[in-house]
């Protein structure tokens, strides 16, 4: 059997077999130790819970360059001079990778899939061509699209913003790209559509009318929503918060900021949040905090899984390997009822020094195993530990009597004053933080 049965052209990851689950004791680096797709946990298979996706941009487009030096990765699918032929090869490489890794979903930007043409019409034509090919590959492999998006931040025309650009001509180009990317997402059966506002912000407040820019962004997103619904998009629109990088300030700062923006502009019914781990830490929050704020607002849509580096404050987009982080994340996701249209997209890149094709597999295997372990531990904590009961109990004084009346809006401030005067000094009730933290560790080590 060909190792790359679905493509039938060049094999880009020779010598790499389909990655299998071999269990915790395996020393095979090219095997899953925890991710067992068909294993049932808390009523669903791991595959159904985690809904892993591979991102096209870091995995198949980025060459490992940084501001101080050029790319280092070996990317044989980029060899051809003709950009459309190279894009076709890249698609082959991507679908070979997806199938060998065994993930159910993938994600793309329009410009990852097809190059920008000399005109709007040529860009649309090339994208359409690659979407047709991707549709064929999806059919033959069973791969599904988690989400699509438009890259309205790389081209120099977007240097002052896309939908928030002070020049209306630029806004029209952003619209052309978003329209075509929505068409592509619908054609490929995408479950969600993402807006990451990489250039939607400012570099200098003196020359910026932030109020007007935010109004433009709200209007633009409403137009995109209406167009998407008009062509039959039934999935979820997602905003991906990020406070900075590349701009000095980006408007979609964090989950609570975006939740307020969506409500102000009447978008909350159609839009949710795509929470990215490293964006959370850039905003001065933890990953878990951002997920909890999104979930509490009823807006947790999807996750971009990666991690930052505690030694600097940048968006390093490293593969997630921190078990404590994934346990916390899965506690929020499970308590929220799990993903619907969303999933776990590895918006992460191998290090510049990791130059082998194999490294891309090792990175994803590690990320998938770390989230699979996080899922097992979180499910065990929720099903068997006293954590949920303890937290509920802390608020028991609001479950009946005057506390209940307070929550029901039946009391005024003066009523509370009288209750304070009559009740005397409250007892100090321990929050038991150390006990709770110890409990989490006990379950991390106990869970198989």
Residue from the set 194, 255, 300, 377 that interacts with ligand XUL by CB under 6 A: 194
Tell me which residues in 209-238 interact with ligand XUL (CB under 6 A).
none
Among residues 110, 112, 315, 347, the one annotated as catalytic is: 112
Q: Which does 13 bind (CB under 5 to 8 A by kind): ligand XUL, Co ion, none?
A: none
Contact 158, 150 (CB under 8 A): no
Of 100 and 199, which has the nearer Cβ to ligand XUL? Answer: 199
Nearest to 34 by CA among 390, 326, 319, 369: 369
- Which one of residues 149, 292, 302, 318 is an interface residue with ligand XUL (CB under 6 A)? 149
Q: What length does the chain have?
A: 448
CA dihedral 419, 424, 428, 429 (to 10 degrees): -40
Instruction: Tell me: does residue 185 bind ligand XUL (CB under 6 A).
Output: no
- Does 341 participate in binding ligand XUL (rule CB under 6 A)? no
What residues does 69 pair with on adjacent strands?
66
Tell me if 315 contacts ligand XUL by CB under 6 A. Answer: yes
Spatial separation of the C-alpha atoms in residues 12 and 91, rounded to whole Å: 11
Residue 183 binding partner per list ligand XUL, Co ion, none, with a CB distance cut-off of 5 to 8 Å that depends on partner kind: none
Closest by Cα among 195, 201, 188, 146 to 341: 146
Active-site residue flag, 112: yes
**Interface with Co ion includes 347 (CB under 5 A)?**
yes
Task: Candidates 225-233, 270-278, 294-302, 357-365: pick the segment binding Co ion (CB under 5 A).
Answer: 270-278
317 binds Co ion (CB under 5 A): no
304 is catalytic: no
Closer CB to Co ion, residue 126 or residue 147?
147
User: Which residues lie closer than 8 Å to 417 by C-beta, 6 or more apart?
Assistant: none
Q: Which residue of this chain has its Cβ atom nearest to ligand XUL in the complex?
A: 196
Could you give the CA distance from residue 329 to residue 212 in angstroms, rounded to a whole number?
36
Query: Coil, helix or strand for 313?
Result: coil
Distance from C-alpha of 102 to C-alpha of 91, rounded to nearest angstrom = 16
Annotated catalytic residue within 109, 173, 285, 289:
109
Min dist CB 105 to ligand XUL, Å, is: 14
Name the binder of 315 from Co ion, ligand XUL, none, CB < 5-8 A by kind.
Answer: ligand XUL
| 252 binds ligand XUL per the rule CB under 6 A | no
Contact 9, 15 (CB under 8 A): no
Our finding on whether 276 is near ligand XUL (CB under 6 A) is yes
Using the rule CB under 5 A, give the single segment among 41-49, 197-205, 206-214, 343-351 that binds Co ion: 343-351
d(CA 164, CA 112): 23
CB 278, min distance to ligand XUL, A:
7
Site for ligand XUL contains 196 (CB under 6 A): yes
CA distance 336 to 298: 9
Q: How far apart are CA 271 and CA 18, in angstroms?
A: 36
CA distances from 120 to 41, 116, 173, 188 (A): 47, 8, 8, 21
Q: If contact means CB under 5 to 8 A according to the sort of partner, which of ligand XUL, Co ion, none does residue 233 touch?
A: none
Nearest residue (CB) to ligand XUL, 32 versus 319: 319
For residue 307, the cross-strand partners are 318
Do residues 297 and 233 make contact, with C-beta atoms less than 8 angstroms apart? Answer: no
Q: Report how many residues bind ligand XUL under the rule CB under 6 A.
A: 10
Out of 242, 289, 307, 364, point to the residue binding ligand XUL (CB under 6 A).
242
- Residue 240 interacting with ligand XUL (CB under 6 A): yes
Q: Where would I find the H helices in 385-412?
A: 387-394, 401-407
The residues of the shown chain that bind Co ion, judged by CB under 5 A, are 276, 304, 347
Binding stretches for ligand XUL (CB under 6 A): 109, 149, 194, 196, 240, 242, 276, 304, 315, 347
Mind telling me the catalytic residues? 109, 112
């Amino acid at each position: 059997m060909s190792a790359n049965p679905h493509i039938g052209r060049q094999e880009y990851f020779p010598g790499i077999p389909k990655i299998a689950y071999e269990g915790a004791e395996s020393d095979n680096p090219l095997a899953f130790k925890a991710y067992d797709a068909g294993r049932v946990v808390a009523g669903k298979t791991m595959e159904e819970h985690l809904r892993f996706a591979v991102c096209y941009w870091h995995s198949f487009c980025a060459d490992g360059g940084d501001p101080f030096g050029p790319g280092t990765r070996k990317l044989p699918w980029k060899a051809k001079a003709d950009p459309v032929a190279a894009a076709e090869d890249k698609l082959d490489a991507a679908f070979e990778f997806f199938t060998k890794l065994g993930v159910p979903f993938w994600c793309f930007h329009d410009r990852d899939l097809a190059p920008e043409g000399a005109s709007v019409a040529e860009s649309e034509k090339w994208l359409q061509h690659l979407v047709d090919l991707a549709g064929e590959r999806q059919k033959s492999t069973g791969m599904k699209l988690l989400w699509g998006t438009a890259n309205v931040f790389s081209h120099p025309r977007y240097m002052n913003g896309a939908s928030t650009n002070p020049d209306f001509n630029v806004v029209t180009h952003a619209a052309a790209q978003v329209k075509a990317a929505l068409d592509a997402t619908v054609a490929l059966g995408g479950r969600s559509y993402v807006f990451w506002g990489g250039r939607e912000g400012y570099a200098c407040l003196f020359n910026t009318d932030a109020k007007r820019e935010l109004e433009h962004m709200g209007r633009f997103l409403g137009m995109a929503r209406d167009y998407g619904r008009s062509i039959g998009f039934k999935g979820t629109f997602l905003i991906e918060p990020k406070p900075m990088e590349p701009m000095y300030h980006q408007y979609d700062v964090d989950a609570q900021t975006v939740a307020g923006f969506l409500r102000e502009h009447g978008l909350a019914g159609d839009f949710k949040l795509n929470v990215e781990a490293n964006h959370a830490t850039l905003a001065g929050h933890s990953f878990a905090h951002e997920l909890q704020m999104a979930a509490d607002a009823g807006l947790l849509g999807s996750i971009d899984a990666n991690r930052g580096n505690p030694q600097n404050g940048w968006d390093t987009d490293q593969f997630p390997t921190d078990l404590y982080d994934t346990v916390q994340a899965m506690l929020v996701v499970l308590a929220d009822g799990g993903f619907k249209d969303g999933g776990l997209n590895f918006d992460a890149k191998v290090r510049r020094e990791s130059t082998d094709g194999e490294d891309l597999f090792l990175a994803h295997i590690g990320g998938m195993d770390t989230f699979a372990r996080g899922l097992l531990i979180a499910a065990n904590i929720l099903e068997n530990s006293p954590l949920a009961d303890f937290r509920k109990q802390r608020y028991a004084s609001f479950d009946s009597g005057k506390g209940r009346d307070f929550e029901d809006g039946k009391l005024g401030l003066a009523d509370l004053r009288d209750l304070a005067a009559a009740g005397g000094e409250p007892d100090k009730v321990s929050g038991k933080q150390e006990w709770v933290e110890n409990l989490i560790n006990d379950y991390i080590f106990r869970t198989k």
